[in-house]
Chains A and B, each alone.
Chain A
Amino acid sequence: MDTSSPAEEEGGHGSGGNVFGEPPAAPIELNLTALMDILSNLLFFLLAAFGATIVMAINATVPVQSPDKNDVAATKQTVTAGLTVGKQGFDVTFSGTAQSPEELEKIHIKIPLREGDFDYAALTAHLVSVKEKYPRSDTMILSTEAGLKYDTMVKTMDAARETTVKVSGIERLVPVFPTVVVTAGSK
């Protein structure tokens, strides 16, 4: 069993001095309180800033002239939504080359303002009902009247993009009209 002390192991001088016989240096106690204060402040600032700058994105496109491609739906299972956001509310029309004008007119709807604000819930509900009838639809052409705010535009895209449905007890996000083409609206 080794019974030697650490001091003896280091220098072989049990009195605590170094090899030159000098007395041991007095232990230094650092006062870390001020540094702790600074670090804590920095930490709280960074934690606050970290949460505030998380930026997400919404995808959209602008109309492009193309001789061989257009955005109008061409199958029985697809329609293209045309959503105009005006000061009086939403005007939702639909287009498709495989449907008759009467069939498309049946799903045309005007959603007026509700208590002075846009009725996003009614918009989602109508688009979901159209999506159920034409399940492969995904494109919406969005135009806005002058004088409306960008915030309204974003909320409209949110309302049209997806909805929550319950499938066997589990809530799932289901895309409704996620592909948005932004056009300039009427004056």
Chain B
Amino acid sequence: MSGGGGTASVALNLTALMDILSNLLFFLLAAYTAQSVEVDGKAGLKLPASSSQLALTPQVTITVTKTAIDVSGVPVANVAEGAIVGDLDANGRIGPLFERLKNVRVSREAAGRGDLGESDLVLLLADKETDARTISTVLRTAGYAGFYNVRFGVVSR
């Protein structure tokens, strides 16, 4: 098996292809890390599809997954079968969520950012199987905490 008489090996010059691939890679890495909202990493969160064409901007985010509600990553309440676990307060609010949102608002005002544009705006990312009543309760709580405007995060249809 000396291989005598075989065809000569061809050396491909891959430098130009490497350049293109590296450029594409850096562009995609930059675009990937620049995205403000990460939704695929969360378990139990599948956003509904919508025909909306409105782009997202970063703001306070309330996430409602199949198991929990969190504010910018901090868990505040549990969810089971689409409904909130535990009692609401006398005004029909989710107590820990209200306190957390109120703290966010107070700390913003303390930092002098209380009257900036969209300061009363909250982004809601909710699993599409969540009970609509849970969504209404979350929105009511946000409204009590001073977040009157809401943006529903959806995936483009």
When the two chains form their complex, are residues A182 and B150 in contact, meaning their CB atoms are under 8 A apart? yes
Known: A39-B18, A62-B148. A150 touches B25 (CB 8 A): no
Q: B106 at interface (Cβ–Cβ under 8 A)?
A: no
Q: Which residues of B contact A153 (CB under 8 A)?
A: 132, 135
When the two chains form their complex, are residues B24 and A149 in contact, meaning their CB atoms are under 8 A apart? no
When the two chains form their complex, are residues A63 and B143 in contact, meaning their CB atoms are under 8 A apart? yes
Q: Which residues of A contact B8 (CB under 8 A)?
A: none
Q: Which residues of B contact A60 (CB under 8 A)?
A: 139, 149-152
CA distance A149 to B150 in the complex (A): 18
Pick from A57, A62, A149: contact of B52, CB below 8 A: A57
CA distance A29 to B15 in the complex (A): 12
Known: A29-B11, A154-B50. A55 touches B132 (CB 8 A): no
Stretch from A42-50, A93-101, A102-110, A131-139 at the B interface: A42-50
Q: A115 at interface (Cβ–Cβ under 8 A)?
A: no
When the two chains form their complex, are residues B127 and A36 in contact, meaning their CB atoms are under 8 A apart? no
Contact-residue size bin, chain B (C-beta under 8 Å from the other chain): 35 or more
B8: shortest Cβ distance to chain A, in Å? 14
Please, how many residues of chain A have a CB less than 8 angstroms from a CB on the other chain? 47
Q: Which of A40, A53, A148 has the largest number of chain B CB atoms within 10 A?
A: A53
CA distance A22 to B29 in the complex (A): 45
Q: B69 at interface (Cβ–Cβ under 8 A)?
A: no
Q: Which residues of A contact B125 (CB under 8 A)?
A: 55
CA distance A36 to B19 in the complex (A): 11
Q: A68 at interface (Cβ–Cβ under 8 A)?
A: no
Q: Which residues of B contact A161 (CB under 8 A)?
A: 51-52
Chief secondary structure at chain B's binding surface: mixed
* Chain B residue at minimum C-beta to C-beta distance from A46: B28
When the two chains form their complex, are residues B152 and A54 in contact, meaning their CB atoms are under 8 A apart? no
Q: B63 at interface (Cβ–Cβ under 8 A)?
A: no
When the two chains form their complex, are residues B56 and A184 in contact, meaning their CB atoms are under 8 A apart? no
When the two chains form their complex, are residues B139 and A149 in contact, meaning their CB atoms are under 8 A apart? no
* Chain A residue at minimum C-beta to C-beta distance from B152: A58
CA distance A65 to B49 in the complex (A): 32
CA distance A153 to B48 in the complex (A): 10
Known: A35-B18, A57-B55, A59-B149. A147 touches B140 (CB 8 A): no
Beyond the given pairs A56-B153, A146-B133, A158-B50, 7 more chain A to chain B contacts, judged by CB atoms under 8 angstroms and listed by A's residue number, are: A43-B28, A56-B53, A56-B155, A149-B82, A149-B129, A158-B52, A182-B150
Pull 24 A–B residue pairs with CB atoms less than 8 Å apart, ordered by A: A40-B21, A43-B21, A43-B25, A49-B40, A53-B35, A54-B156, A55-B153, A56-B55, A56-B156, A58-B154, A59-B151, A62-B148, A143-B136, A144-B133, A147-B133, A148-B131, A148-B132, A150-B130, A150-B131, A150-B134, A154-B50, A182-B139, A184-B133, A184-B140
